[in-house]
Amino acid sequence: MAEERKDHLWKVAQEAEERIDDLMKTGASPMGLDVGTAKIVASRRKAKDIECAAQLNAFIPVPYSKFTETILGQNDIAYYREGGELVIYGTDTERFANMFNAEARRPMADGLLNPRETRAMPVLEAILTNLVPKPKVQGEILAFSVPAALPGREAALTYHEATLRGFFQGQGYKPVAINEGLSVIFSELEDNNFTGIGISCGGGMCNVTLAFLSIPSIMIGIGKGGDYIDSAVGAVVNEHATRVRIQKEEGIDLSRQPKDKFERAIRIYYEELVESLVDGLAKALSTAETLPRTDRPLPIVLSGGTAKPKGFKDLFEKALKGRALPIEVAEIRLAKDPLTATARGALIAAMYEK
Amino acid sequence: MEPFARSPAGAPGPRARGDEFVVALEAVSRGIRDPVAKLKYIRGSLDRYRSLDRAVRFIPGKALRRHVYRWLSLESLGPLLRADPFGGAPPVDPRTRRSRFVTRVSMVSTAAAGIAAVAFATWSLPRPTPVVKAAAPALALALPPVVETPVSLPVGITPAAVWLVEKGEGWEQYSNGLRIDTSHAVAGDPRRFQVFDEAGALDPEVHDQPVGILFHTSESDIWPLEASFNETLRDSSQRLLRYLQRNRTYHYLVDRFGRVFRVVNEESKANHAGYSVWAKPGRVYLSLNNAFLGVAFESRWEGGQALPITQAQLAAGRNVTEYLRQRYDIEADMCVAHGLASVNPKKHLIGHHMDWSRGFPWAAFGLPDQYKREAPSVALFGFGYDDDFLKVLGEPWQGVRDGEQRLASEAQRRGVAVDEVRQERQGLYDRSIRAQAAAEKSAVASVADQRPVNRPRTSASGG
């Protein structure tokens, strides 16, 4: 009886227990989405935990034949047919790109819809449809990440955000856009009352946000990310960028001396990316008009697939050392799960909006 | 709300909101363990800063201001101090809860000291000191206009005629001052119920007019009744209304500003009563969703009592009760609190829901004190209570004792143990509730049988 008398947010009459399920259905299904250049990660609350699912944001078209289509179908590979081609998309793309020794194509570039890719939106829609189920209730909240605008790309960001918003609305969601860096702050800096610097190092770009008590005061984008490293290294070692990425993700260790040409190239371009990132951060901090007056050191959290390799944090710390910043840095740490931090932060924003 | 996707150009940062406020906010936020609750708390507090600051900035002395900010920050935690609707633990850690209590006590002491100072100054000096003057806004915040000792009305008198004066789109105005907002009203399942006698015989006659009123508390967020919380108060009521409407929970909601909302049409049943028992001589009503109208006050049962309703709620609640009693000829004895009627059928315990199990202002509604009325669930059906019930209420209301007395008298008269009488009565309840369920099921089946199947279309003239 003690449990039955528990205070409820709103009273539920005993004869209508099913209404608790309704409340859970409508109340517990907001969704957080990290729409990244390289990966799309969805997160949703499941009981007391958060579950995440990811798909590669890439595709590869192969010529149509009845036989190929049967094979794809039998192996449960995501594809759709367009004219004389079968467009394989999502995580399976990598396997086929390797198999055909071809470059996987990207619906997005530099954090935004890829203007040079004619199939950008159909492929992105196919991946999102695969990853994001239709809402159980019309108007459910979905928070999706958007990058900070790169200089001169403000209009492209507006188009990107509006296009995604329209798609999610069409699916029946109520979409809310959230800055990538702020998402990282939401998921990682709860203990600091959402105060600090969140950095998301993605495939297309890096995003940096400084927030004080959850209110962002600096949001900047750096136009280099994992893709830049992949293509630069690929050009040097004469490999497809897709292959470089696979090798890189198999476990690069930036904390030890490079063993071969490939590792040397990786290290060089990682250092260059980190330098650009720290430069951008320092410049933004020193020129910011709305920098909060704070008397305590601020934490920095690094996240994203590009920040995942061992030794990345040390590279960042080294690059930051000796820079004169208008704020004091408390600690630099890697997100608990760098690949899902943005999506988890977006989920918090969605639940806040509910 | 501040944006998620863009920098708020030109908007003041949290620091622009004042160091004392930010320090208090940060300290309290650290005690919140859930990220969403923390985010809501922080952003809600930042939004409210401007109105709070208008009241607090006049307080002299940084230390006192800081103390008031801390108190206000802790008070804003109110909605986070309860378990979530699915039974999860409240997201505020125990230290912060303790701190809230201590700060509240300290503020009350400060206020009392302030009042004493005013009294002393008034007594000893021709005019008050500037310090006392400046403390006034804080005192005003500490004393919301809630009902302390409501005025009594004559008991048991059927209200004078109440009639519809006029109506418009979304409202109705009645002669006793009652104004009903009908813009949220929805239809539910039609009302139909049967009545038992005290021996458990079910009268075959099916009724569709309500015979009683059940008073509820909404068990929703209750924010401080202060101008600075106006937006939150309004939003909170609107969210509650949408929830009640979706679930067809009550017929009427009386919000904290005294507005009366019709939620479910009076002709329909509402899901307000759950398993419940009430009776008058010769007529016993079970599971009162159909037979009783549900009137909820936006309030919450906390610490063994309902939080005080506002003067506006009291007046509006009285008006809507008068209107319903007059319209449906409802007897005063049939107006009762949900907590007095609610039962747990499986365990045969009273007090399954406890709203208004204590403290309903019967006299102010012109109603007899129902706490003194013999509890039908105990007297007729042998229901009892457990330790958890006593933990919440301390002791049962007098009507429960009277019901137990009746069981004891019967046991003595028959020369059997009280428990034996209880078990017989509980068996009577079980049989009655099964009979009621069977009657409802067959009524539903007969309605379904009568439903026309592919009936040919008839012309408007009937020919």
Q: Which of residues 97-126 of B touch A (CB under 8 A)?
A: none
Determine, for residues A179 and B217 on separate chains, whether the beta-carbon distance falls below 8 Å: no
Give the minimum alpha-carbon distance from B308 to chain A in angstroms, rounded to a whole number. 17
Q: Whole-angstrom Cα distance, residue A1 to residue B163?
A: 44
> Is B43's CB within 8 Å of A5's CB?
no
Q: Which residues have C-beta within 8 Å of that of residue A153, sequence separation ≥ 6?
A: A110, A112
What are the helix (H) ranges across A76-140? 92-99, 120-131
Which residue pairs, CB below 8 angstroms and at least 24 apart, start in B300-303? B300/A7, B300/B217, B300/B218, B300/B219, B300/B220, B300/B222, B301/A7, B301/B217, B301/B219, B301/B339, B301/B354, B301/B355, B301/B356, B301/B357, B302/A7
Q: How far is B132 from chain A (nearest CA, A)?
A: 34
For the CA atoms of B141, B146, B148, B154, what is the dihedral angle to 10 degrees?
160
Number of Cβ atoms within 10 Å of the Cβ of B433:
18
Query: What residues pair up with B166 in beta bridges, in sequence order?
Result: B173
Give the per-residue SS3 of A307-352: HCCECHHHHHHHHHCCCCCCCCEEEEEECCCCCCHHHHHHHHHHHH
Closest CA to A304 of A184, A213, A156: A184
Distance from the A3 Cα atom to the nearest Cα atom in chain B, whole angstroms: 8
pLDDT of res. B130: 35
Q: Which two tokens stand for residue B311?
A: 């003067």
State whether B220 and A10 contact (CB < 8 Å): yes
Q: Determine which of A9, A154, A184 to mutate to test the interface with B (most B C-beta atoms within 10 Å).
A: A9
Domains in chain A and their CATH numbers? 25-57+106-353 (3.30.420.40)
Sign of the torsion formed by the C-alpha atoms of A106, A109, A113 and A118: negative
> A200: closest CA among A106, A308, A329?
A308
Residue B251 contacts A where some CB pair is shorter than 8 Å: no
- Average pLDDT of A159-168? 94
B297 touches chain A (CB under 8 A): no
The answer, for B310 touching chain A at a CB cutoff of 8 Å, is no
Contact call for A193 and B249, based on CB within 8 A:
no
Q: Which of B4, B26, B81, B247 to mutate to test the interface with A (most CBs of A within 10 A)?
A: B4
Instruction: Say if the ipTM goes beyond 0.90.
Output: no
Output the pLDDT for position B374: 96
Rounded to a whole number, what is the distance in Å from the CA of B130 to chain A's nearest CA? 34
Where do the domains of chain B lie? 14-142, 164-447
DSSP label at residue B34:
-
pLDDT, residue B248, reads 92
Residue pairs spanning A and B at CB distance below 8 A: 152
Contact B271 A177 (CB under 8 A): no
B15 close to A (CB below 8 A): yes
What are the distances in angstroms from CA B334 to CA B289, B329, B375, B406? 14, 10, 12, 21
DSSP secondary structure letters along A206-222 = EEEEEEETTEEEEEEEE
Please name the residue ranges forming H helices in B30-93: 35-56, 62-75
Q: Which residues of A touch B305 (CB under 8 A)?
A: none
Strand partners, A310: A253
**Given an 8 Å threshold on Cβ–Cβ distance, is A146 in contact with B5?**
yes
CB contact under 8 A, B273 and A13: yes
Residue A20's pLDDT band (boundaries 50, 70, 90)? very low
Higher pLDDT, A272 or B304: A272
B42 to chain A: which residues are within 8 Å by CB? 193-194, 213-214
Question: Please, are residues B194 and B436 in contact by the beta-carbon 8 Å criterion?
Answer: yes
Inspect the interface and report whether the beta carbons of A217 and B301 lie closer than 8 Å: no
Of the two residues A17 and B145, the one the predictor is more confident about is B145
Q: Is A281 helix (H, G, I), strand (E, B) or coil?
A: helix
Nearest to A234 by CA among A247, A224, A244: A244
B398-414 vs B418-450: helix crossing angle, rounded to 10? 110
> What does the pLDDT read at residue A158?
92
CA B401/CA B399 separation, integer angstroms: 5
Contact residues on chain A for B26, CB-CB shorter than 8 A? 193, 213
| pLDDT profile of chain B (463 residues), mean per 10 | 56 54 82 86 79 67 71 70 50 69 68 67 48 32 48 55 91 94 94 94 94 92 81 85 90 95 96 94 95 94 81 94 94 96 94 90 93 96 92 90 95 94 95 91 71 39 30
Alpha-carbon span A284 to A197, nearest angstrom:
12
A6 with B83: Cβ contact below 8 A: yes
Q: pLDDT digit string (tens) for A338-348?
A: 999 999 999 99
Beta-ladder partners of A255 = none
- A19: closest CA of chain B, how far (Å): 7
Inter-chain residue contact A348 with B7, CB threshold 8 Å: no
CATH number among 1.10.287.80, 3.40.80.10, 2.60.40.1190, 3.10.450.50, domain B164-447: 3.40.80.10
d(CA B20, CA B63): 9
Distance from CA of B21 to the nearest CA of A (A): 12
Nearest to A8 among B85, B247, B392 (CB): B85
CA distance B66 to chain A (A): 18
Res A24: pLDDT: 36
pLDDT tens per residue, range A203-216: 999 999 999 999 99
Considering only the beta carbons, identify the residue of A4, A9, A212 that sits closest to B352.
A4
Closest residue in chain A to residue B350, using alpha carbons only: A1
Question: What is the C-alpha separation between A168 and A175, in angstroms, rounded?
Answer: 6
Contacts of B301 in chain A (CB under 8 A): 7
- Look at A179 and B30 and tell me if their CB atoms are within 8 Å: no
Q: Scanning every residue of chain A, which has its alpha carbon at the shortest distance from the alpha carbon of B31?
A: A191
Contacts of B46 in chain A (CB under 8 A): 213, 215
**pTM greater than the 0.90 cutoff:** no
Q: Is B215 within 8 Å of B295 (Cβ atoms)?
A: yes
Residue B288 near chain A (CB below 8 Å): no
Q: Which residue of A has its CA nearest to B349?
A: A1
pLDDT in tens, A79-126: 999 888 999 999 989 888 888 778 889 999 989 999 999 999 999 999
Chain B residue closest in CA terms to A161: B5
Q: How far apart are CA B315 and CA B145, in angstroms?
A: 13
Average confidence score pLDDT of chain A: 86
User: Can you tell me the distance from the alpha carbon of A331 to that of B164, in angstroms, rounded to the nearest whole number?
Assistant: 69
